[in-house]
Amino acid sequence: MQFFQFTEEQEMLRKAVREFVEAEIAPKAAEWDEKDYCPVELFPKMGEMGITGIFVPEQYGGAGLGHVERAICLEEISRHSAGLGIALMTHHLCVAGILYYGTEEQKQKYLPELAAGTKIGGLSVTEPGGGSDFMGQKSTGELKDGYWVLNGRKCFITNSHVADIDIWTVITGQDEKGRPVMTAFIIDPDTPGHTPGRKEHKLGLRGSVTGDVNCVEVKVAPGQMLGKEGAGAKIAMTTIQEVGRAGMSAINVGILRGCVEEGVKFANERIVYGKPIAKLQAIQFDIAETRLEYEAARLLTYRAAGMKDAGIPCATEFAMAKLYATEAACRAAKRIMDMMGGYGIINEYPIGRFLRDALASIPAGGTSHIQKLIIAGSTLSGK
Partner 1 sequence: MSFNIAVCIKPVPDPSHYDKITIHPVNKTITREGIPTIINPVDKNAIEAALQVKEKWGGKVTVITMAPPSAEENLREALAMGADEAVLLTDRAFAGADTWATSYTLAQGLKKIGHFDLIFTGTESADGATSQVPAQLAQWLKIAHLWNVQQFKITNKEELQAQMKIENGYIEYALKLPALLAVSRECNKPRYTTIMGVMKAKKKPLITYTADDLDLNKDFIGLKGSPTQPGDIYTPELGRKGQELTGEVEEIVAQLIQKLRAAGLNLESWNACAVGRE
Residues that bind partner 1 (CB under 8 A): 8-9, 12-13, 15-17, 19-20, 23, 48-51, 54, 63-65, 69, 73
Residue 243 near residue 291, CB atoms below 8 Å: no
Q: How far is the CB of 18 from partner 1 (least distance, A)?
A: 10
Q: CB nearer to partner 1: give 50 or 365.
A: 50
Q: CB nearer to partner 1: give 70 or 119.
A: 70
Question: What is the separation, in whole angstroms, between the first and last Cα of the chain?
Answer: 20
Q: Which of 222, 221, 199 lies closest to 212 in space, CA to CA?
A: 199
Q: How far is the CB of 19 from partner 1 (least distance, A)?
A: 6
Residue 125 near residue 240, CB atoms below 8 Å: yes
Q: How far is the CB of 65 from partner 1 (least distance, A)?
A: 7
Q: Cα–Cα distance between 249 and 162 in angstroms, integer?
A: 23
Q: How far is the CB of 58 from partner 1 (least distance, A)?
A: 8
138 SS3 class:
coil
Q: CB nearer to partner 1: give 113 or 166.
A: 113
Q: How far is the CB of 9 from partner 1 (least distance, A)?
A: 6
**How, if at all, do strands 180-187 and 194-199 pair?**
unpaired
Residue 174's CB: how many other CB atoms inside 10 A? 10
Q: How far is the CB of 130 from partner 1 (least distance, A)?
A: 38
Question: Dihedral of CA 159/160/165/167: which sign?
Answer: positive
Q: What is the 3-state secondary structure (H, E, C) of 71-118?
A: HHHHHHHHCCCHHHHHHHHHHHHHHHHHHHHCCHHHHHHHHHHHHHCC
Q: CB nearer to partner 1: give 77 or 226.
A: 77
Q: How far is the CB of 69 from partner 1 (least distance, A)?
A: 7
Q: CB nearer to partner 1: give 54 or 339.
A: 54
At position 241, the amino acid (one-letter code) is Q
Eight-class DSSP state of 244? I
DSSP string, 309-349: HTT---HHHHHHHHHHHHHHHHHHHHHHHHHTGGGGGSTTS
347-351: long-range pairs with CB below 8 Å, 24+:
347/30, 347/34, 349/262, 349/266, 350/29, 350/30, 350/80, 350/258, 350/262, 351/259, 351/262
Q: CB nearer to partner 1: give 51 or 71.
A: 51
Q: How far is the CB of 96 from partner 1 (least distance, A)?
A: 18
Q: How far is the CB of 84 from partner 1 (least distance, A)?
A: 16
Q: CB nearer to partner 1: give 51 or 167.
A: 51
Q: CB nearer to partner 1: give 64 or 230.
A: 64
Q: CB nearer to partner 1: give 6 or 134.
A: 6
Residue 305 near residue 67, CB atoms below 8 Å: yes
Q: CB nearer to partner 1: give 237 or 278.
A: 278
Q: How far is the CB of 23 from partner 1 (least distance, A)?
A: 8
Q: Please, is 130 exposed, middle or buried when counting C-beta atoms within 10 Å of its C-beta (0-12, 13-18, 19+)? A: exposed
The angle subtended at Cα 160 by Cα 356 and Cα 168, nearest 5°, is: 125
Q: Which of 203, 183, 126 lies closest to 158 in space, CA to CA?
A: 126
